Amino acid sequence: MSETAPPATRSGALWSIVNGGAAVVIPFGVFVLFARMMSPHELSPILLAVAMLEIVKALGPQGVYDVVIRQPESDTRHYESAAALFLIFGLGLAAVFCGLVLISPLILRITLPPVLMILGLKIVFDYLVMQPQAILARRMAFRRLGARGLTAGIVSGTGGLAIAALLSPLLGLASYYVLQSLMVYLLTAVGTGATMPPRLDRPAMREMAAEGARASGVRLTAVGFNYLDQLMLGAMVLPAQLGLYNLGKRIEVVAITIVSSFGQMMFQPVFATADPGHRAHHMGRGIAAISLVCGVPLVVLALHASLAVPFIFGAQWLPAAPVVALLGLGGLARALGGVAGALLTVSGRNALLLRMGFWAAAISVAMIFGLASFGVAVVAAGVLARNIVFTGIQFHMTGDAKGQLWRLFLHNCFLPLAAVAVVSVAAGMIVTALLGAGTPLAIFAVLAAAGLAGGGVGAALLYPRM
């Protein structure tokens, strides 16, 4: 196969970067502003509520998306049935989430304010968007899908910050999450002709049931992978410690959000339509894309966390630096695993992912119980080790790169990121020797030099491999 990426694949990569970047940069910027307004203790309730929301949302048939995306657009029976399922479960699970908020004092060490029940609307919109998104992904409408993230981020960020200024930071951040999901839905469904009327068709439901259930189970275990630790720690540690851990989780979620965008917009459509003989080639490009977009910034951040965390989030967050470094690298491992996960999902191997996810969840529960008493930094180190192990297992399960996995990772991940690390540290040391690191301006110069040098090397080495 030619080493030149097909135009659709390269376009998908570029618009996935736009969408993933908008879904990360804007929310991260908004989160930074709120983190500077609030202490770890004050921020813990809403971050814990978001973790609870994601787990509740995953209890529904989200895996139907992975099945219906393989159907041609003309097959309206499957798309209409999917739309009906998404509507029913979106409304039902939103009600479940509201109930959990009300009983939170009985199950957590942190009481969730009733106002956080408005986050239930996010579940509704996140479900409704999946059916039209599947059709747009089938059309490879990368421009539309990419632009929506940017627009939604700007509108929701502006709205959330306005509410924070007028009412309260807590309500502002909650409103931001809801507005973001609402805008993504509207920009996907309105004016695209991709929305089908919700109508249950029993034969279509039976055809999607088995694989959809397995795919939903995979998503549930993946979400447990992402958020169960926060819920468990919410019942085991003090709010301030949970706040430090949650800051690290925000960095991990950055990587997971990016790979989710790449998976839905690029990896799944490409793997679903590619010749099986070319899957290893596309897998290598996927590893390079994630290494560039996630790996470069996360490696730079991990190496300079003690400077970056207080500079970005405020001095009150300095104790979170080791947690941020460890969970950031853990997020990179998860993001790389998303490449293999996308292939397994669209090639009908969700049963393998489901079994792996079950064991991963069981090990995670035992790990958190065993490590929580040693502190959240030790838990973060355990999460990093777990993510590395299970990412390796995912790639091994594909079977589509036998004998090539080490080469794919060596050339598309390990060597480029090692070069990024060396150059980034060297640049930071040179600027520190010249300016010191005792003033905000000097710290900014050190971080900027490290980021620009590492980013330049990463782009030069990895972009040609995408």
Q: Per residue in 191-212, pLDDT tens? A: 888 888 888 888 888 888 887 8
Confidence band for 13, pLDDT divided at 50, 70 and 90: low
In a domain, 1, yes or no: no
pLDDT band for 5, please (50, 70, 90 cuts): very low
Query: 18 versus 231: which is more confidently predicted?
Result: 231
Tell whether 2 is covered by a domain.
Answer: no
In-domain check, residue 206? yes
Q: How confident is the model at residue 3 (pLDDT cuts 50, 70, 90)?
A: very low
Over range 333-359, report the average pLDDT.
Answer: 80
Rounded Cα distance, 263 and 269, in Å: 8
Task: State the Cα–Cα distance between residues 128 and 181, nearest whole angstrom.
Answer: 10
Percent of the chain with pLDDT over 70: 92
For 110, the 3-state DSSP assignment is: coil
pLDDT at 2 over 60: no
Q: How far apart are CA 397 and CA 400, in angstroms?
A: 8
pTM of the model: 0.76
Place of tokens 């630096």: 321
Tally of structural domains, the chain: 1
pLDDT, position 380: 95
For residue 313, pLDDT over 80 is answered with: yes
Helices 376-398 and 239-262: angle between axes, nearest 10 degrees: 20
Is 117 domain-assigned?
yes
What percent of the chain stands above pLDDT 90?
39
d(CA 35, CA 169): 10
Q: How confident is the model at residue 162 (pLDDT cuts 50, 70, 90)?
A: very high
pLDDT above 80 for 323: yes
**What is the rounded average pLDDT of the residues 412-436?**
93
Q: Which pLDDT score, from 0 to 100, does residue 21 have?
A: 59
pLDDT of residue 445: 94
Position 277 in a domain? yes
CB contact set of 194 (below 8 Å; sequence gap of 6+) = 131, 132, 133, 135, 136, 139, 188
Residue 67 lies in a domain: yes
Look over the chain and give the mean of its residue pLDDT values, rounded to a whole number.
85
Please check the confidence at residue 10 and state whether its pLDDT lies above 60: no
CB atoms inside a 10 Å sphere around CB 28: 17
Q: Is the model's pLDDT at 330 over the cut of 90?
A: yes
Residue with tokens 């004998």: 403
Asked whether residue 312 is assigned to any structural domain, the reply reads: yes
User: What average pLDDT score do residues 94-103 get?
Assistant: 94
Domain residue limits at 129: 7-465
Higher pLDDT, 341 or 415: 415
Cα–Cα distance, 15 to 156 (Å, whole number): 20
Q: What is the pLDDT of residues 241-268, one digit of tens each?
A: 888 998 998 899 888 888 877 776 677 7
Q: What is the pLDDT of residue 267?
A: 77
Residue 291 reports pLDDT greater than 90: yes
Rounded CA-CA distance 246/463 in Å is 32
Residue 409 confidence (pLDDT) above 90: no
Q: What is the pLDDT of residue 401?
A: 62
Q: Higher confidence at residue 453 or residue 75?
A: 453
Residue 356 belongs to some domain of the structure: yes
